[in-house]
Amino acid sequence: MRIGVALGSGAARGLAHIAYIEALDELGLKPAAIAGASIGGLIGAGWANGMTGAELRAHAYEVLGSIQQIASTFWSRNPLDLQKLFARGLSVQPHAVDVARTFLPVDFPDTFEALKIPFKVVATDYHDWREVVFDSGPLVPAIAASMAIPSLFRPAVIDGRYFVDGGVTNPLPVNRLEGLCDMVIGIDVQRYPDPSQPVVEPSIFDAAIGATEIMSQRLVDAVVRDMRPYLLVRAEVGIFGAQEFWRVREIVESAAAAKDDFKRAVEGAMAVWRMEHRLSH
């Protein structure tokens, strides 16, 4: 049985993917193909390069352990370049490609072809308003394009085109695994409504973020309805802010609490597939 895994977008909440990768490791399962969007593309690339869930966790803790650690890691790998800083006016937005290079492991492969597992990453062409899938050629620019969160990072430029976050057009790319595997697992790390929260007027910032999350949820629902993955997991990550990368330990450990349930769900989905496969033959 060939298993494909789609890792969804969700900014810092996407660090929860690491716990689910650990769970698949514990089951002795390796994906036949991986697809990712935004943070799912960054983590998915490491997984496709052969990193285990435990190795991904250790790396994330090392580079994202605190606000100071994030800043130190970024500036140590990207010395201040005044020409970049003042390009098109003073900008404090880091370039997406610098961010990707910073938080990928040192000596990471340059191309998709060098990865150990077939990997697809989605991004959004800003001017064409369309999803673009990268699965060959230069790897780091493609990851950067997928994780170029609007307003947080500057867009990535590939072949003269400007790209922003893949989550804008396909926040859970389960459909990009069609035909590559027998069973697709989708891991959704979007925040969903919390009825326990008090009804208060949102701030300007909260309203903008919330509107984006509502649109992402609708996109996820649409692609899941069309594709119908064998297993869809919605991580419980609503208590974490989209930009709270420094809470990496809390996010991963919170997701890890659901590992046993996830493993049972995977084993159940595999049993259903085998039964259907036997009946069809």
Compute the distance between CA of residue 219 and CA of residue 213 in angstroms, rounded to an integer. 10
Q: Is 278 exposed, middle or buried (0-12, 13-18, 19+ CB in 10 A)?
A: exposed
Contacts of 124 (CB under 8 A, 6+ apart): 130, 131, 132, 163, 164, 165, 166, 168, 169
38 a catalytic residue: yes
CA dihedral 117, 235, 265, 40 (to 10 degrees): -10
Compute the distance between CA of residue 277 and CA of residue 274 in angstroms, rounded to an integer. 5
Long-range contacts at 110-113 (CB < 8 A, ≥ 24 apart) = 110/138, 110/139, 110/140, 111/136, 111/137, 111/138, 111/139, 112/136, 112/137, 112/139, 112/142
β 156-158/231-234 pair status: unpaired
165 a catalytic residue: yes
- Catalytic residue (one of 9, 146, 165, 216): 165
> What are φ and ψ of residue 4, in 5° steps?
-115, 145
> What are φ and ψ of residue 133, in 5° steps?
-105, 125
- Catalytic residue (one of 9, 38, 216, 254): 38
Closest residue by Cα to residue 19 from 267, 271, 263:
263
Query: How many other C-beta atoms are found inside a 10 Å radius of the C-beta of residue 152?
Result: 15
Return the active site residues: 38, 165
